[in-house]
A and B are shown apart, each in its own frame.
Chain A
């Protein structure tokens, strides 16, 4: 089991920035994990709407990143008002 599995499973609901080995950056809220993937809820984009690259996903339609593809994973600093 990938070490990222536990890291993500314990932090569902937190904003995260994942860099994959192909050089892409994925920012989103951790929605759920499977044994092989972490699924992210996209942040709204600055351009309005929820565009995410070529996926074009909307709210509620997260995308999965394979643990094996992850180069780095960082939890993004944030707070609640």
Chain B
């Protein structure tokens, strides 16, 4: 039970870190979501607000850097 809590918490923390260092990938995803009516504006506002706060931190887009490095090394992409 305790181990599963640690496992899940680590996954959520990783997801948060991924969001922090992945540029606008999450924002792009939010805009491609199907329209869910009245909730849509609120959700998009929340995501945009969080993205603005993240942008203010000036963190690098490490995901894109990793992607570019892998694609350059493998010839894929």
A binds B: no
- Residue numbers of A with Cβ under 8 A of B are none
